[in-house]
Amino acid sequence: MTSFEPLALGNGVTIHAPAHTKSAARLLQNDALGLVVRLHRALDAERRNLLNSRQARQATWDAGDLPGFLPEGEHDAARGEWLVAPLPADLLCRRVEITGPASDAKMVINMLSRGADGNRADAAMLDFEDSMKPSWANVMAGLDNVASAARGDLEFTKYSAGGEEIKTYRLDPDDMPLMMVRVRGLHLNEANLHVDSAPVSAGLFDFALCAFYTARNLVKQGKTPKFYIPKCEHYLEARWWNRLFTLTEKALALPVGTIKATFLIETLPAAFQMEEILYEIREHAAGLNGGRWDKIFSDIKCLRTHPNRVLADRASIGMNRPWMSVYAKQLIRVCHNHGAFAMGGMAAFTPGRDEAAREKQTAKVVADKHFEASIGHDGCWVSHPYFIGPALQPFLDELDGADNQLGVILDLPDRPDLMPKGTDPHTMEGLRTNVRVGIAYLKGWNEDIGCVAWDDLMEDLATLEISRAQTWQWLRHLVTLDCGTTVTRELVRAVFAEEKEKIITEIRAAMNGAPLTAIQRETACYRKAAADAETVFLERTMRPFLTGSSELAPVLATADKTTQVAA
């Protein structure tokens, strides 16, 4: 592991010396860096207390308690009659949102542009979180791309192996969807930058710099600075984020409430505190989003020691499960009662390689979005431009000319049953799927990639987390699979060995005709990824997240990815 090599920047700030690239020197200029420092000193002690509280709550659940709604008398104000601040006009139509890593300039341009079929998303979320590995090069590229996208001048040129220009991709600033940014979560440290000898919060770092480089510019254009906040677990964490928004607005001389945010309700504890979380951010709230994949991971993690809560195969858990369906409906009820948007989840499908596969995948997307539109969601997510049109149609049908469904108020109990249930199936196929995802994802991770198209699905960090957590849970409780085999460490090792060889056989077939050295390099990468994934899957103590820190910039730094982005 690379150790932190401090380079002093003044005012108590040190940067990992190899991270002090040309991009970093330009982006961390005095005023921008000063904002990060000011916010860190105001908020980091509280953030650390909030993270300690997470650990304390998990310890009680591991000892047998269960998460649940807040007791009567705690935060009663959230259950009264109140509304979030009025939503700006450009946030009133978000039927289809597309997401992808902020670090990939070409992908950012594609998300913010019309596809070949003429369809365009209503909003695009430029992601620093689950679809982007938090390497320093990726973070710097992401910041550059976000700033350029806000100006409308982002470009990307594709070159041949011989250095010849093939194609240049450009934004159309007059035909762009709502631009949003998802920052990293509360738990992540940005290891490359320290203030007063402590690493800064990665989420604070992303938010402060994105706001610094875009918020005032967007306001001048008549647009709303809009963010997504992931992995919130408690209303006190939402209060922390709201303080960050307000302090940033004041530092940038913007009226309080200028910045808007949608919070992902993607943890089990947050599912029980939707109303309180929305109340805490009411002056900055755009809405809540049902982050279903991280939610499944959180369900497993929070209830990992409970033998009656061992979840079924990942592929069998969707909105068909009662606790998942009720969770989505509760989100709609809470949001619409208080004038906020209720956004649906991700259709994590890829188009497929032939027409038959595309038709099959499209049918899955349409069915998923028909369900979300029918119960009252205001919009949804897709991970691929191909599905923008198919995902939009169910909302056009349901909304009948309206921009949203804020008027849909669901009749639910005040405290519906949101607790996950341990059910069948537990299959060998499910275990193999988890292992394959682990190998494929860690292969991408080792190559600085945070999302991979694999087995007709878009796998990001959330689905890797589900796969490793579920395997850990099945091992912990010695689950007997439907075929009669008990899940043991020996079985998991055997499945890793088998799936690794299957994948290598598939790769060799797919690369048939390529140079032998290229095939050998690729298969070696998969062998390393399999070893890395097996180590993580078989850890005796389940880590709360794959990583709690960004990756230190390598000592032998590679060229900045931002060199591909037009200034």
Question: Which are the catalytic amino acids?
Answer: 182, 460
- Residues 351 and 357: their CA atoms lie apart, in Å, by 7
Q: DSSP state, 562?
A: G
Q: Which residue's structure tokens are 């909302």?
A: 395
Cβ contacts of residue 212 below 8 Å, gap of 6+? 31, 32, 35, 252
Q: Which stretches within 376-515 are classed as H helix?
A: 388-399, 428-446, 461-476, 489-510
Nearest to 277 by CA among 258, 290, 264: 264
Q: Which sign does the torsion angle of CA 505, 509, 510, 516 carry?
A: positive
Assess contact for 566 and 155: CB atoms under 8 A. Answer: yes
CA trace torsion 512, 513, 517, 521 (10° rounding) = -30
Asked if 422 and 309 touch (Cβ cutoff 8 Å), the reply is yes
Give yes or no for a contact between 165 and 525, defined as CB atoms under 8 angstroms apart: no
User: Token digits for 133?
Assistant: 């590995």
The secondary structure of residue 79, as a DSSP letter, is: G
Taking the C-alpha atoms of residue 208 and residue 343, their distance in angstroms, rounded to an integer, is 25
Strand, coil or helix: 272: coil
Closest to 297 in 3D by CA, of 273, 276, 322, 271: 271
What is the Cα–Cα distance from 281 to 180, expressed in whole angstroms?
A: 17
Residue 170 structure tokens: 């450009």
List, in order, residues 6 or more apart from 373 with CB less than 8 Å away. 344, 380, 394, 395, 397, 398, 399, 405
